[in-house]
Structures are given as structure tokens and as C-alpha cells.
């Protein structure tokens, strides 16, 4: 029997009615003769709410306890979906990441999957059950519960699809991957197909619709990822191997960033301190005696403490983290495309938000700027470069 892994994101399971609708959709697939393993995210904004609770208790919550707390969100939705399926007469069972054999590194809050041992999932699928797995979480070799970083349920789905030899479908509130966030840029177009590299760059530049680590995993395992809308039609975006002729794939924006500037000689010290707290630099540049780096704060839950620690260790360090964002243009062959850089900087200047830093690579041009200008800049640049 063919097997499919279907992942439903937070907005798809935001309330009881939506959970029932997802159950009906899963039941129809199962009745059509396909084994189904479902990966679920936490309901609606549950993860944000749990994070906010933790921060009310402590400005720097211990990362182990944070993972115990955040992993509870997905546990709620997995159990409710299993109940909804059984209520429809479909045999189902839910498992945590640990029970599903998702083995990770021990980097709390941003763990990476190192192995999947899905024995219990396979046993229950063989018994004819729909198996529901809590996304975003796993267990380390020391038997500690870990989480995979925000948006990590996508990674759970891809990793399980690889381990089960299954197809991978990611369902969310948009009909696939667009040339920009369709909520911000109304002219954005859905892309039928994207290469792994294009999608990985879009995701790390802030296109939340698919998670960057999930795509990295899909590339490594050669899994095609189908992104669709949960309650919409059959349109989709397929992310798979192969390359596209030179083109601009899309525009993405990102918030919650910090820009650090410091003497180049302090780079090893700064990197060591970031690493010790599990914070990964998104972009690094060094020229002459100065170095700068951009840090995504999305998975750094103790930033005030880390920031103070860095300031003590490197007195010449300057930090911009108030309302800082970035706009990126992603595509193939961009390093030679001066036009992209020109349009991006012109748009930002015109909005009174000149670039605070610029980073370029073969697949991406990124400008850091005041977060207030992000939406207008994305619309302007999309109009000029994507059409
Ligand atoms: P889920 O909760 O299902 O995982 P997410 O909120 O993580 O969903 O991702 C879906 C959201 O991603 C959409 O609502 C959309 O606003 C946003 N998004 C950002 N960039 C893009 C893009 N390029 N294409 C489609 N959606 C995008
Ligand atoms: N619930 C987690 C988050 O909000 C994981 C996910 O949705 O993929 O980031
Ligand atoms: Mg998501």
C-alpha cells in the first residue's frame, strides 16, 4: 500500500472545527487506500503563548525546560486529531516525537534530527491505523526532549517521509509557495516548482511557508515536497531536485534580527559565545578591521542575557536590534545581477529606510533595514523585478 506523510500546520488545526475537517480529509485519503502518517503542529498561536508564559516567569528560561514546555503544544493537537479520527470510525493512534523515534542532537530549541527509527509508526501503519505524530520535537541520545526550532514540524514531516519511503505533503493556509508572501504582496504568483536551493534560500530569508531545515533534509534524502492549502483546491508547489534557468524566484522579508558590528579580531570570541547559546549567525561579513554579522533571534530565547554577555566580552561591539528587518531577493545567478542590488537599495532609499547592511551570495541579495519599511519595500521590489 502506498504511504503518505501529511503535515498540517498550526492554522490548519487552530480550533476544534478545523481539527474535525482535517480528520475528514485524512479519513478520505485513508479510505482511498493509502497509509497515512500525519504530522501536526500546535494549535494556532499555542507555541507563541507558551513562549510568552515562559518569558513572564524568567527573561532567560533554561532551554531544557523551554523544550519541555513548547513540545506540549504539539502533544495537544496530536491527541485531539486522533480522537477526531476515531470518532469518524477511523482507527488512529498518536505518538510524541520521542515515541516516533525522532532522534536529535541535544541542542535545545534548535536541535537537528540525526536519525529516525520509526518502528512504532511502521507497526501501527501495518495494523491499518492512521498514525499521528507530534511535529517539531524529538529526543536526544541522553533521552532529553528537544525541539527543532520554530517551524520545525515541516522537518519532522520530511524526515518521517524519508524514513518511511513515503510521499511528503505539507498543508498550510496558502496554496503553495509564492513569489512573495501573498499576505504582503497581493501580486505574488504561486510557483509551480522550485529547486531545493531556491526554496532553502527563500525559507532562510523569511518565507515561513516551508522550513529551511526541512528543505535541507529533503535535498539530502532526495524527497519531493508538495506544498498545498489545507482547505483549498489541488494547486501546489513542488520542491525537488534539478535547477532552473537563471531567474528571480521571489522576494522574502524577515523580522526579529540583530546586527552586530565589532573588530574583526573578535570574530572567534563572538562566534564562540553565540555557539555556546545555540545561536547561529545568518550572515557574516568582514572587511578590513571590522566584521559584522546578522543574527536571527527567532530561536534565541535568552537574547537579553546573551547580548549582555557579548557586550562584556567585546567592549567595542555595537548592536542594532530594535525594529531591524531584512528584505531579500532570491534567485539563480544573482551575484552578477547589479540590477537587483540597485533596485533594492533604490527602493529602500525612496522609503526613507536606507540599507543598514547588505549581504550577497550567488542565490540571494539581502538588505537589512528598518522593519517598518519591509512590506512597502517587498511590494516595490516585487513589482520591479518579478512583475
Ligand atoms: P503553518 O502554520 O501551516 O506551518 P506558516 O505560518 O508557518 O504555516 O506558513 C504559512 C505562511 O507563510 C502563510 O500564511 C504566508 O503568510 C507566509 N509566507 C511567507 N512567505 C511566503 C511565500 N513566499 N509563499 C507563501 N506563503 C508565504
Ligand atoms: N509549533 C511550532 C512553531 O510554532 C512548530 C511548527 O509550527 O512547525 O514554530
Ligand atoms: Mg510553519
Residues by chain with Cβ below 5 Å of ion ligand 3 = 9, 151
Report the nearest-CA residue for atom 8 of ligand 2.
151
The proportion of the chain whose per-residue pLDDT surpasses 70, expressed as a percent, equals 99
pLDDT at 381: 97
Mutate to test the pocket of ligand 1, among 179, 209, 329 (most ligand atoms within 8 A of CB): 209
Please report the pLDDT score of residue 282 as a whole number.
80
318 C-alpha to ligand 3 centroid (Å): 32
What pLDDT, in 10s, does the model give residues 317-367? 999 999 999 999 999 877 667 889 999 999 999 999 999 999 988 899 999
pLDDT of residue 336: 66
Question: How far is ligand 3, taken at its centre, from the CA of residue 358, in Å?
Answer: 27
Mean pLDDT score across all residues of the chain? 95
pLDDT at 243 over 90: no
Ligand 2 contact, 47 CB (< 6 A):
yes
110 lines ligand 2 (CB under 6 A): no
Q: What is the 3-state secondary structure (H, E, C) of 103-133?
A: EECCCCCCCCEEEECCHHHHHHHHCCCEEEE
How many whole angstroms from 211 Cα to the centroid of ligand 3?
A: 7
The span from the CA of 146 to the CA of 4, in Å, is 25
Q: What pLDDT, on the 0 to 100 scale, is given for residue 333?
A: 79
CA of 9 to the centre of ligand 3 (A): 6
Q: Are 369 and 353 in contact (CB under 8 A)?
A: yes
CA-based nearest residue to 244, from 179, 148, 172, 161: 179
Using DSSP's 3-state secondary structure scheme, residue 102 falls into: strand
pLDDT of residue 47: 98
pLDDT (tens digit per residue) in 277-307:
888 888 888 888 999 999 999 999 999 999 9
Pocket-testing residue among 38, 43, 47, 97, ligand 2, by greatest number of atoms within 8 A of Cβ:
47
Q: Is residue 141 scored above 90 in pLDDT?
A: yes
Q: Give first-to-last CA distance, the chain, whole Å.
A: 44
At 280 the pLDDT is 82
CA dist 386 and 188 (Å) reads: 9
The 10s digit of each residue's pLDDT in 196-234 is 999 999 999 999 999 999 999 999 999 999 999 999 999
Residue-level pLDDT at 268? 94
What is the C-alpha separation between 140 and 134, in angstroms, rounded? 16
| CB 152 near ligand 2, within 6 Å | yes
Q: State the Cα–Cα distance between residues 13 and 107, nearest whole angstrom.
A: 28
Q: What is the pLDDT of residue 362?
A: 87
Give residue 57's pLDDT: 96
Taking CA atoms only, the protein residue closest to ligand 2 atom 4 is 47
pLDDT at 335: 65
Kindly tell me if the per-residue pLDDT of 259 is higher than 90: yes
Task: Give the nearest ligand 2 atom to 74 CA.
Answer: 1
Is the full-model pTM beyond 0.85? yes
The closest residue, in CA terms, to atom 9 on ligand 2 is 150
Expressed in angstroms and rounded, the spacing between residue 42 Cα and the centre of ligand 2 is 6
**pLDDT at residue number 277:** 85
User: From ligand 2's centre to the CA of 45, what distance in Å?
Assistant: 9
pLDDT tens string 60-72:
899 999 999 999 9
Other CB atoms within a 10 A radius of the CB of residue 103 amount to 19
- For residue 244, pLDDT beyond 80: no
pLDDT for res 276: 86
Q: What is the mean pLDDT of residues 105-111?
A: 94
Amino acid at each position: 500500500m502506498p504511504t503518505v506523510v501529511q503535515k498540517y500546520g498550526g492554522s490548519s488545526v487552530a480550533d476544534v472545527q478545523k481539527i474535525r475537517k482535517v480528520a475528514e480529509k485524512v479519513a478520505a485519503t485513508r479510505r482511498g487506500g493509502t497509509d497515512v502518517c500525519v504530522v501536526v503542529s500546535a494549535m494556532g498561536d499555542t507555541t507563541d503563548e507558551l513562549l510568552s508564559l515562559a518569558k513572564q516567569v524568567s527573561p532567560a528560561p533554561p532551554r531544557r525546560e523551554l523544550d519541555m514546555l513548547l513540545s506540549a503544544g504539539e502533544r495537544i493537537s496530536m491527541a485531539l486529531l486522533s480522537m477526531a479520527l476515531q470518532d469518524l470510525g477511523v482507527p488512529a493512534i498518536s505518538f510524541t516525537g520521542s515515541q516516533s523515534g525522532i532522534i536529535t542532537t541535544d541542542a535545545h530549541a534548535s536541535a537537528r534530527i540525526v536519525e529516525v527509527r520509526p518502528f512504532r509508526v511502521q507497526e501501527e501503519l501495518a495494523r491499518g491505523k492512521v498514525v499521528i505524530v507530534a511535529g517539531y520535537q524529538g529526543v536526544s541520545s541522553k533521552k532529553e526532549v528537544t525541539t527543532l526550532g520554530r517551524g520545525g514540524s515541516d522537518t519532522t514531516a520530511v524526515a518521517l517521509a524519508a524514513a518511511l519511503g513515503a510521499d511528503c505533503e505539507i498543508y498550510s493556509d496558502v496554496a503553495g509557495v509564492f513569489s512573495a508572501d501573498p499576505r504582503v504582496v497581493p501580486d505574488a504568483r504561486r510557483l509551480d516548482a522550485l529547486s531545493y536551493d531556491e526554496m532553502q534560500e527563500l525559507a532562510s530569508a523569511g518565507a515561513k511557508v516551508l522550513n529551511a531545515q526541512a528543505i535541507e533534509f529533503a535535498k539530502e534524502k532526495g524527497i519531493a515536497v508538495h506544498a498545498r492549502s489545507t482547505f483549498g483546491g489541488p494547486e501546489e508547489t513542488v520542491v525537488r531536485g534539478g535547477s532552473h534557468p537563471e531567474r528571480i524566484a521571489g522576494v522574502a522579508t524577515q523580522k526579529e534580527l540583530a546586527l552586530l558590528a565589532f573588530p574583526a579580531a573578535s570574530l572567534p570570541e563572538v562566534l564562540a559565545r553565540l555557539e555556546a547559546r545555540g545561536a547561529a549567525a545568518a550572515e557574516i561579513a568582514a572587511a578590513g578591521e571590522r566584521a559584522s554579522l546578522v543574527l536571527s533571534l527567532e530561536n534565541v530565547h535568552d537574547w537579553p542575557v546573551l547580548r549582555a554577555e557579548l557586550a562584556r566580552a567585546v567592549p567595542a561591539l555595537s548592536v542594532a536590534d530594535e525594529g531591524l528587518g531584512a528584505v531579500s531577493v532570491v534567485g539563480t545567478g544573482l551575484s552578477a545581477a547589479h540590477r537587483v542590488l540597485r533596485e533594492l537599495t533604490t527602493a529602500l532609499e525612496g522609503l526613507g529606510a536606507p540599507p543598514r547592511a547588505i549581504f550577497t551570495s550567488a542565490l540571494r541579495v539581502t538588505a537589512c533595514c528598518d522593519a517598518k519599511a519591509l512590506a512597502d519595500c517587498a511590494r516595490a521590489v516585487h513589482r520591479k523585478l518579478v512583475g
